[in-house]
Amino acid sequence: MAYYVEVRNLVKVFKSHASRSSTVRAVDGISFGVREGELITLLGPSGCGKTTTLRLVGGFEIPTEGDIFIDGVRVNDQPPNARPTSMVFQSYALFPHMTVFENIAYGLKNKRLPSDEIKTKVLETLEIVGLQELEKRYPGQLSGGQQQRVALARAIVMEPKVLLLDEPLSNLDAKLREQMRVELKKLQTRLRITSIYVTHDQLEAMTLSDRVVVMKDGKIVQIDSPERIYRFPTNKFVAGFIGKANFLKGKIGKVWEESCELVMTNGMKLEADLPKGHNFEVGEEVLIVVRPEGISFCESSQAHIVGHVISRIYTGGAASFEVETDQGVMTVEVTNPLALALPSIDENVGLSFSRTAVAVVKAE
Amino acid sequence: MYTFKQIKRIWNEPVLLAMIVLVVVLLIVFVIYPIAMVFFKSLQPTGEGFDLSVYKALFTKKYFRAPFFNSLKLGVSVASVGVLVGYIFAYAITRVNIPGKVFFRTAASFPIISPPFVIALAAILLFGRNGFITHQLLKGKLNVEIYGFWGLLVVETLAYFPTAFMTLEGILQSIDPALEEASLSLKASKWKTFWRVTFPLSMPGILASWLLVFSQSMADFGNPLILSGNYHVLSVAAYLEITGSYRIPYGSGLAILLLIPTLIAFFVQRYWLSRKSYITVTGKPSAMRILEPTKWVKAIFTLVSAFLVGIIFLFYGTVFYGSFTKLWGVDHSLTLDNYRYVFDIGSEYLKDTLFLATIATPFSGVLGMITAYLVARKEFPGRRVVEALSLLTFAVPGTVVGIGYLLAFNQRPLMLTGTALIIILVFVFRYLPVGVQNGVAALYQIDPAIEEASLDLGASSYRTFWKITMPLMMPAFFAALFYTFVKSMTAISAVIFVVSGKWQLITVAILGSVENSDLAQAAAFSYVLIGFVVIAMFLLRWITNLFSYQERIRRARA
Amino acid sequence: MKKLGFVVLVLALLASTAYAAQVLHMYTALDGNEWPIYVRAFEKATGIKVEVVRMSSGEVLARVEAEAKNPQASIWFGGPAVDQIAAKKKGLLEPYKSPNAWSMPLAFKDPDGYWTGFYFGAIGFASNTEQLKELGVEPPTSWYDLLKPEFKGRISLAYPYTSGTAYTVLASLVALMGEDEAFEYWKKLHKQIHHYNKSGSACVTQVGLGEVTVGIAFAHDVIKKGISKGYPVTLSFPKEGTGYEVGAMSIIKGGPEPELAKKFIDWMLTAEAQNLMKQWYRIPLNPDAEVAEGSVKMGDVKVVPMDFDYFGREKDRLIERWKNEIEYGS
């Protein structure tokens, strides 16, 4: 299936701020595609090149190399105002001298739509984002969440072929962020606008995206659905960046088409699922990824690994433990802690891993 | 490759390209060319051929060497005393929490917006040969010689310490009081905290304002012209060399001598010192919590500040009183004759000055904003050079500019001598840097994403400038207008070389009156000028209220 | 839009300066209150409009020189002949022999007509009578009286390089004593000087106000700006003989309105115009003109014969020497 938005071998080189002669490859030869109506997330730590990629698609940066296609048209040479994209900025970039209405109407005026049509569209969009009655306010008079919605409304009123969102929730406080995340999800389900969403927050990425593009140092590390990225990370970075993970050394004992048997350094064996088409081989040294929420306490005899508790933090809905083992300190998370008899500090415990909480990545 | 793509992009936006070309051409013709002419003439002692005999004379003849060293000595002294006074004042306001801060701050801004030589005029009225204090009060028992180094030191310090004060106030405000609190909690005394924490952190600001005041003193023309006595300084020497002895090569040479130290000071301050700064001024001073100092410290700082402001009031008050006296020093009975004279005989001067300043102001403002926009927001080859050029006239003393315009626009194809245009051009380009700086500062505070958002929403870069950028720059634009207007009204050092009979300026009339010992008349002229400045200030506030979006929002809120 | 406006303004300003019918552009070194007396009368008598720029005599010369390629004015009115001789030397003037220059003595006009005199003035001493009384001295009647200890720090005059008046003082001393002796004398005088001014007549007001006791200036300035204003000022002359100036006017070479300039010179030499000068206590050169009461005449003072041509030629050198030996001497 042809992609609606396609990026091919994109490279962006900046002059380094530190010294005049050196350069920084902010985006280093990436390629990916977005299907129509799909929301994909560019996820990565700060400085990984995700915002630069978004700005290249939006036309705010000129690519050093590579091509960008939208709906089959190469847009490399189009300035932002000619591209069929709309951007929601991290800082919202609301025009402080215009009212909410004027802000949202601005783009429509640039399209030279008749004013009654503009009015209808603006009011409709305000209703979509839940900001009726506020159209006469100035941005300075709005709360952070309201400003966020105006920024969103201003972009979607343009009915863009592609909606670009640059960390749109990062300026909100935690509670509001959660609320807006849910609303964005609903909105996306309803409107199905092809979107590229940039964030460094894995939770946002998991919640919102159809697919996630994990980036590091200007390169793409993995592209996949949220579930599969969590379940089958391709390397230690992805495993550690998305969700929490304990890493244990091990070896492949046996290997099948979609699973394998792992041998831990203490001789214990366990089975794990693998993605189709993996390239693990018997005897290969690997890292075993164990998600903390998939570990439970048990008798030493039934345990995959043993150790003693060195800390215990109770947070209401969950409790987290640090257990020292001969493989290093492991984190264990227990949900519904009140229902169980939990070990205390210095207690010797056994840990067993549920199969769905175990993944395998190449040793580095 | 990269630059090529940039050029290609600029080429695709003809309006932008035209703007860049326009600004570059204007800067070359009206900033670089005149200064180059001064340099050129100083190498042509006989009118043809080139040699260095002028400079040889400047360094061997005592009457040329003396002004150079006099200017340096005065500049160093004024800068040192001015920065000290400015620092004390700034410290009192930002760190000691003295009562009446707004009042003190306002009073300190008087010398900045008033005609440059009002303070010198006040000094003459008070301490001159017929001074109120020296002559009337002390009956000549105390022999104060106001004409010369000491008089200039006092007058220029009063005139230029506000510059240092404003710079240092900003710096002190940006030093987080938490740093001082940390020092105190680590058991350093307040005294030690000041010397080990506050003072070192304000050092870049101190050096910057020192250089700023140094340049201002070097470039000062109005005060030395009427107060230097036999203490010749470069700016006046260059002026006399050209208008008194009509030796243009030597006047040009002196102007170049004046230019060199001020240029060095400017570049050191701008390109070296600015990088040394420990703190980046965010424009958002954190809510100041300051430690309440002891009663004594507070009392001392309040007294010192009050004393300083007292002198400012004494000086301005004296000129005000003087403007109503019949004959200063002889007959102090009150009269309106001086104002009658100003509005009768002097009305031509008033009309011309107002007209010229009013024409120049919007051009300077708009050009400043355009330049600021190009420099701060657009990528094009030579951007840094354009920025440096647009700020250059800051560093160039008015005397040099005046001589430059006199020499440069005197022949085809730019035959402007004697026209109003040459005066207007002096105003426009002399005060352009403030517009550029205000504009750049405003732009740096406006999130570039706002303009990107506009482009993203389908507006062209031209439309984005007029619809988004310009409205947001309005406050900076009006501030630049105000500055240009005030400075044009009170200008003297550059325009004195290009005024003609057809176009006369109030400042020139004031200098004439002072030279003629018509002090009361000069005082009346000065206050009429101050009156115009105050009216302009209120007008500006009114217009700003009318057009600024911040005001509209404030009203919407109410 | 904005740019277009700018261009229009530039064109308008250029056009407005180019358009000037029947307007005479004049540089004058006469006092701001004096030139209107003659200029307004001339405008009334001829209907020609005059645009006047006032500058000190030295400034006029500098300006005319600077504008040599593009003269902005047609006539140079007033100021001592010395500066106009300098201008003649630099080729900045146009000769014109006015039919009204009668049988004027040669000292009062250029033999080739490059400049024409219209008044005569003598250097004198202005003294503050009240201060003289306090000090118990008589008004100075000799150059050497100025060296009296009572006058120490109580004398002012202008810099010879900024003021025609002060240069005339220097020239008269050279004419009277010989150059070296004159400089020796001024070295002693320098110690008596309170300060130097930039304009020649400023010292009269200063004497009137009591800022200094004695000023050295032209007699007509002393009367006009001192005595006639009611200041306690008295005028005296050195018995050894004093210097004088001839107030001159000339036509600037290549100026825009040479014909109007000639008309002005002719008119200024008529008795009708010369009569006006009594308002300023000047001594007219037209023998038919009236002399103001209390004014001095050529015969009232002893003058040293002065070779203006010589002093015009030697001005740069004399001033250079003055700066070296007097101002920056010792």
- DSSP per position, B204-227: HHHHHHHHHHHHHHHH--HHHHHH
Residue type, B19: M
Whether residue B358 lies within 8 A of chain A, CB to CB, comes out as no
* CATH number, domain C122-244+313-327, options 1.10.600.10, 3.20.20.370, 3.40.50.300, 3.40.190.10: 3.40.190.10
CB C196 within 8 A of CB C156: yes
* Token digits of residue B79: 């800068």
* Token digits of residue A214: 């994990």
Q: Is A196 helix (H, G, I), strand (E, B) or coil?
A: strand
pTM above 0.80, yes or no: no
| C-alpha–C-alpha distance, residues B23 and B20, integer Å | 5
Cβ atoms within 10 Å of A150's Cβ, excluding its own: 26
Tell me the residue length of chain B.
Answer: 558
**pLDDT digits over B523-537, tens only?**
999 999 999 888 988
Q: Spell out which residues of chain C touch residue B406, defining contact as CB-CB under 8 Å.
A: 66
Cβ atoms within 10 Å of A283's Cβ, excluding its own: 10
Of chain C residues 261-320, which have a CB less than 8 A from chain B? 316, 319
CB B339 within 8 A of CB B528: yes
Tell me the residue length of chain A.
Answer: 364
| C-alpha–C-alpha distance, residues B101 and B99, integer Å | 6
**pLDDT digits over B210-255, tens only?**
998 999 999 999 899 888 877 889 999 898 888 776 788 888 999 9
| C-alpha–C-alpha distance, residues A71 and A93, integer Å | 27
| C-alpha–C-alpha distance, residues A65 and A29, integer Å | 8
DSSP-derived pairing of the beta strands A5-15 and A65-70: antiparallel
B12 contacts: CB under 8 Å, gap ≥ 6: A79
Q: What does each of the 330 residues of chain C score in pLDDT, given as a tens digit?
A: 445 555 555 555 554 444 445 889 999 988 777 888 999 999 999 989 998 887 777 778 888 888 888 888 999 998 878 788 888 888 999 999 888 776 667 677 888 889 998 888 889 999 999 999 988 999 999 999 999 999 998 999 999 988 888 999 999 999 999 999 999 999 999 999 988 888 888 899 889 888 889 999 998 888 888 888 788 899 999 999 888 888 899 999 999 999 999 999 999 988 889 888 888 888 788 877 777 665 666 667 788 888 887 887 788 899 889 988 888 875
| B66 phi and psi angles, rounded to 5 deg | -55, -50
The answer, yes or no, to whether C and A have at least 3 beta-carbon pairs within 8 Å is no
Q: Write C177-186 long-range contacts (CB < 8 A, 24+).
A: C179/C318, C183/C321, C183/C322, C183/C325, C183/C326, C185/C143, C186/C322, C186/C326
Residue type, B201: L
The reply to whether residue A110 touches residue B463, judged by beta carbons under 8 angstroms, is yes
Place of tokens 């700066």: C323
* Token digits of residue C59: 């400034």
CB A214 within 8 A of CB A229: yes
Q: Spell out which residues of chain A touch residue B9, defining contact as CB-CB under 8 Å.
A: 62, 79
Helical residues (DSSP H) of C149-247, grouped into ranges: 164-177, 179-192, 202-209, 219-225
Whole-angstrom Cα Rg for chain B: 25
* Token digits of residue A205: 């990425």
Largest interatomic CA distance in chain C: 75
The string of DSSP codes covering A170-186 is: TTS-HHHHHHHHHHHHH
Q: Spell out which residues of chain A touch residue B550, defining contact as CB-CB under 8 Å.
A: 96
Element (H, E) at A58: helix A50-58
Q: Spell out which residues of chain C touch residue B243, defining contact as CB-CB under 8 Å.
A: 55-56, 58-59, 62-63, 162
DSSP-derived pairing of the beta strands A39-43 and A195-199: parallel
CA angle B333, B335, B338 (to 5 degrees): 120
Cα B326 → chain centroid:
33
* Domains assigned to chain B: 1-38+335-558 (1.10.3720.10), 52-322 (1.10.3720.10)
What residue segments make up the domains of chain C, in order of their start?
A: 2-120+245-299, 122-244+313-327
Q: Which CATH architecture has domain C2-120+245-299?
A: 3-Layer(aba) Sandwich (3.40)
The reply to whether residue B501 touches residue C53, judged by beta carbons under 8 angstroms, is yes
Domains C2-120+245-299 and C122-244+313-327 share a fold: yes
Of chain B residues 409-468, which have a CB less than 8 A from chain A? 447, 449-450, 452-461, 463, 467-468
Choose among A13, A58, A98: nearest Cβ to B456: A58
The string of DSSP codes covering B243-256 is: HTS--HHHHHHHHH
Q: Spell out which residues of chain B touch residue A62, defining contact as CB-CB under 8 Å.
A: 5-6, 9
Q: What is the pLDDT of residue B1?
A: 43
| C-alpha–C-alpha distance, residues B82 and B93, integer Å | 16
Nearest Cα neighbor of B13 from B508, B373, B506 is B373
Q: Is the dihedral of CA C305, C309, C315, C321 positive or negative?
A: negative
Question: Cα-Cα-Cα-Cα dihedral of B144, B147, B152, B153, to 10°?
Answer: -30
Q: Indicate the burial class of B537 (C-beta count within 10 angstroms; 0-12, 13-18, 19 or more).
A: middle
Whether residue C11 lies within 8 A of chain B, CB to CB, comes out as no
CA angle A321, A326, A331 (to 5 degrees): 20
CB A23 within 8 A of CB A32: no
| C-alpha–C-alpha distance, residues B52 and B60, integer Å | 12
| C-alpha–C-alpha distance, residues B333 and B346, integer Å | 22
Q: How far is B444 from chain A (nearest CA, A)?
A: 14
CB pairs under 8 A between A and B: 94
Partners of residue C196 on adjacent β-strands? C157
A116 contacts: CB under 8 Å, gap ≥ 6: none
* Token digits of residue C288: 């038919």
* Token digits of residue C291: 């002399």
* Residue B285 per-residue DSSP state: P
Q: What does each of the 364 residues of chain A score in pLDDT, given as a tens digit?
A: 578 999 999 999 887 655 556 788 899 999 999 999 999 999 999 889 999 999 999 888 889 999 999 998 999 888 888 889 998 988 888 888 888 999 999 989 888 899 999 999 999 999 988 888 888 888 888 888 899 999 999 999 988 999 999 999 888 888 888 888 888 888 888 889 999 999 998 889 998 999 999 999 999 999 999 999 999 999 999 999 988 899 999 999 999 988 999 999 888 899 999 998 888 999 899 999 999 999 999 888 888 999 999 998 888 888 899 999 988 899 999 887 776 778 888 999 999 999 989 999 988 7
Of chain C residues 25-54, which have a CB less than 8 A from chain B? 25-27, 32, 51-54
Nearest Cα neighbor of B503 from B425, B387, B397 is B425
Element (H, E) at B25: helix B14-27
| C-alpha–C-alpha distance, residues A18 and A25, integer Å | 14
Which chain B residue's Cα is nearest to C11?
A: B421
| B119 phi and psi angles, rounded to 5 deg | -65, -40
Place of tokens 């005609």: B115
| C-alpha–C-alpha distance, residues A19 and B311, integer Å | 51
Cβ atoms within 10 Å of C194's Cβ, excluding its own: 23
Helical residues (DSSP H) of B378-469, grouped into ranges: 383-395, 398-408, 420-430, 432-445, 448-456, 461-464
* Residue B292 per-residue DSSP state: P
**What stretches in chain B show pLDDT beneath 70?**
1-12, 47, 138-143, 245, 273-292, 412, 501-502, 557-558
Q: Spell out which residues of chain B touch residue A98, defining contact as CB-CB under 8 Å.
A: 549
A253 contacts: CB under 8 Å, gap ≥ 6: A260, A261, A262, A263, A269, A282
Which chain A residue's Cα is nearest to B5?
A: A62
| C-alpha–C-alpha distance, residues A156 and A86, integer Å | 7
Q: What is the pLDDT of residue C124?
A: 92
| C-alpha–C-alpha distance, residues B398 and B433, integer Å | 13
| C-alpha–C-alpha distance, residues A185 and C273, integer Å | 98
